[in-house]
């Protein structure tokens, strides 16, 4: 499970172990066993034990734990740090909290105003493998519509910049809550890719194929990248179809082909 290069991250509620295998078979690059938003307070302990059992049986998954400051954080963190492929930390705001996860790979979920403002420090924490963006929670705090690309454009770009500035892979975009609107999902993926995201959180198996397709470079992009590298085989400045090719353009072409090679 290559979390750094994954395109689709499929949530499954931790209190529904009957869905774990179905999620694993849904074609997502990463399954996220959720102990947070999808699980009511009275089921938190049961969900944690379900997740422990699944991971101890040899399955791979990311685990979204409950946030720091909640009654469940400590026990969630202990289980996830020991067994999960990576730990997703919701409402991430403090780099020191990320460092408390006993050497586990961490995905900070940046979904509060303070988390966005501190995004460079959070992404730069040594344990962080890649950041994710939480659109719904942030929109609620800001009093805007989480479906609005314009309202959250600045915040999304801040996460992309923070990831790049700290040498992390392109971040993971938030969920699309419209389960039956393929057009909305497609538009959300395209907008995220335009800003520099390279993956997306999913809340239903039928979203996975669309996200995988949208987060994979298109055939046209791959042809362009190969043509760029061929036109400047020695790394020197060149011209392709009337456009100058220099080092930054070559780097973009190389990144496109590297993303294709991982899937």
For residue range 86-128, what is the model confidence (pLDDT) as tens digits?
A: 999 999 999 999 998 878 899 999 999 999 999 999 999 999 9
DSSP state of 215: T
Q: Do residues 103 and 127 lie in contact, with contact meaning Cβ atoms separated by under 8 Å?
A: yes
In this predicted structure, what is the pLDDT of residue 44? 97
* pTM as predicted: 0.90
Q: Do residues 131 and 168 lie in contact, with contact meaning Cβ atoms separated by under 8 Å?
A: yes
Contacts of 245 (CB under 8 A, 6+ apart): 228, 231, 232, 237, 238, 239
pLDDT band of residue 68 (cuts 50, 70, 90) is: very high
DSSP SS3 for 233 = coil
Q: Do residues 53 and 42 lie in contact, with contact meaning Cβ atoms separated by under 8 Å?
A: no
Annotated binding residue 100:
no
- In the predicted structure, residue 73 carries a pLDDT above the cut 90: yes
In this predicted structure, what is the pLDDT of residue 118? 98
In this predicted structure, what is the pLDDT of residue 246? 77
Instruction: Give the CATH number of domain 8-215; options: 2.70.240.10, 1.20.1740.10, 3.40.630.10, 3.20.20.60.
Output: 3.20.20.60
Q: Tokens 């949530």 identify what position?
A: 11
The tokens describing 144, both together, are 């805007």
Contacts of 2 (CB under 8 A, 6+ apart): 29, 262
Residue length of the chain: 263
In this predicted structure, what is the pLDDT of residue 105? 96
Every domain of the chain and the residues it spans = 8-215, 220-261
In this predicted structure, what is the pLDDT of residue 263? 67
> How confident is the model over 1-54, as pLDDT tens digits?
899 999 999 999 999 999 999 999 999 999 999 999 999 999 999 999 999 999
List of E strands, the chain: 8-13, 30-34, 62-64, 86-89, 106-110, 132-133, 172-173, 199-202, 238-240, 243-245
Helix (H) or strand (E) holding 44: helix 44-56
For the residues 224-237, what does the mean pLDDT come to? 75
Average pLDDT, the chain: 93
> How confident is the model over 134-177, as pLDDT tens digits?
999 999 999 999 999 999 999 999 999 999 999 999 999 999 99
In this predicted structure, what is the pLDDT of residue 261? 65
Q: Tokens 């509620």 identify what position?
A: 13
In this predicted structure, what is the pLDDT of residue 170? 96
Annotated binding residue 137:
yes
In this predicted structure, what is the pLDDT of residue 167? 96
Percent of the chain with pLDDT over 70: 99
Q: How distant, in Å, are the alpha carbons of 201, 231, 242, 244 from that of 234?
A: 39, 9, 19, 15
In this predicted structure, what is the pLDDT of residue 241? 77
**Alpha helical stretches, state H, 57-175:** 73-83, 95-98, 113-117, 119-123, 135-142, 153-165
DSSP SS3 for 6 = coil
In this predicted structure, what is the pLDDT of residue 95? 96
Annotated binding residue 93:
no
CA count, 13 A, side-chain hemisphere, 170: 21
- In the predicted structure, residue 227 carries a pLDDT above the cut 80: no
């Amino acid at each position: 499970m290559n979390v750094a290069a994954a395109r689709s991250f499929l949530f499954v509620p931790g209190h529904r172990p009957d869905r774990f295998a179905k999620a694993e078979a849904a074609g997502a690059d990463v399954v996220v066993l959720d102990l947070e938003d999808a699980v009511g307070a009275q089921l938190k302990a049961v969900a944690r034990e379900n997740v422990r059992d699944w991971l101890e049986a040899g399955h791979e998954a990311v685990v979204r734990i409950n946030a720091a400051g909640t009654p469940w954080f400590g026990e969630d963190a202990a289980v996830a740090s020991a067994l999960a492929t990576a730990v997703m930390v919701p409402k991430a705001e403090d780099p020191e909290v990320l460092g408390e996860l006993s050497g586990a790979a961490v995905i900070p979920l940046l979904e509060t105003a303070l988390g966005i403002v501190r995004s460079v420090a959070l992404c730069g924490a040594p344990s962080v493998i890649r950041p994710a963006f939480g659109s719904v929670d942030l929109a609620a705090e800001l009093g805007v519509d989480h479906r609005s690309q314009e309202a959250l454009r600045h915040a999304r770009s801040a996460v992309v910049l923070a990831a790049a500035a700290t040498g992390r892979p392109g971040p993971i975009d938030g969920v699309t809550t419209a389960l039956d609107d393929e057009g909305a999902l497609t538009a959300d993926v395209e907008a995220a890719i335009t800003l520099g995201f390279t993956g997306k959180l999913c809340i239903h198996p039928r979203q996975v194929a669309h996200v995988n397709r949208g987060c994979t470079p298109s055939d046209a992009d791959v042809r362009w990248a190969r043509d760029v590298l061929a036109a400047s085989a020695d790394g020197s400045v060149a011209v392709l179809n009337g456009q100058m090719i220099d080092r930054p353009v070559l780097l973009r072409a190389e990144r496109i082909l590297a993303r294709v090679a991982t899937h």
